[in-house]
Structure 1
Amino acid sequence: MILEKVPTSLRGALSRWLLEPKTGVFLGNPSARVRDELWDKAIKKTKASGVILQIWTDQNPQGFSSRQYGERERMFIDFEGLSLVKIDKNISTTKKQNSDTTNI
């Protein structure tokens, strides 16, 4: 799981089941049931500005499946059964403009 802008308490809850090698990045190999429970917990604790990306191994041509919550610059999209990354330039432009104005 990759988390952005989430409460610290959520990171603590996830660290009981997964390793956090870098802030907001969680690794592990939980069962499908535990993975779904962690997803539900993350969704409930995340506010509107938060972002969650969950990726796990799966038996498909790419070897993984994913789900996401929140709005990110880079989003997985399904294209005829394949996951591709779509870069939304509107989101990146808005973020850049916001960071430019805060540095003034």
Structure 2
Amino acid sequence: MPSMTVLSTTSVPDHVRGALTRWMIEPTPGLYVGTLSARVREELWRVVSASVGSGAAVLIHPEANEQGYALQTAGERRRALADFDGLTLVAFRPEEYQEMTDRS
């Protein structure tokens, strides 16, 4: 059953943006919203996460859990997902971590 899906991207290649706009609308640059089946969502996420390069992406979709949604991320950023007793929280990595990854 199709469900609302939100995908946010930062600095992804143009071909990824093109693939996303075939299935979703882009109300603001880098933010995609659509009603997708699980199969289409998983395939789009596979393409995005494999092509993110130095960019980043976050996928949010409904899930049968306490929060009612699931989060997935691709790419390296200061924010990281953390599981806390079954809840997905967003944790900040130390600034030193970001400085080390920026130099790489």
TM range (shorter): 0.7 to 0.9
What stretches of structure 1 of length at least 5 have no aligned partner?
A: 99-104
> Greater Rg, structure 1 or structure 2?
1
Larger strand proportion of the pair: 2
What stretches of structure 2 of length at least 5 have no aligned partner?
A: 1-6
Structure-2 separation of matches of 1:67 and 1:93? 20
Structure-2 separation of matches of 1:66 and 1:32? 14
Tell whether the 8 Å contact from 1:73 to 1:88 is kept in structure 2 after alignment.
yes
- Normalising by structure 1, we get a TM-score of 0.80
Q: Note if 1:10 corresponds to 2:19.
A: no
Tell whether the 8 Å contact from 2:77 to 2:98 is kept in structure 1 after alignment.
no
- Normalising by structure 2, we get a TM-score of 0.80
2:92 is aligned with what amino acid?
Answer: I
Superposed, 1:24-43 pairs within 5 Å as 24-43=30-49
Higher relative contact order (CA 8 A, sep 6+): 2
Deviation at 1:50, TM superposition (A): 1.7
Residue among 45, 66, 71 paired with 2:71: 66
Q: Aligned residues: percent identity? A: 38
Structure-1 separation of matches of 2:48 and 2:98? 28
Residue among 52, 56, 62 paired with 1:46: 52
What SS does the aligned partner of 1:27 have? strand
CA-based RMSD of the aligned residues comes to 2.2
Structure-1 separation of matches of 2:78 and 2:48? 20
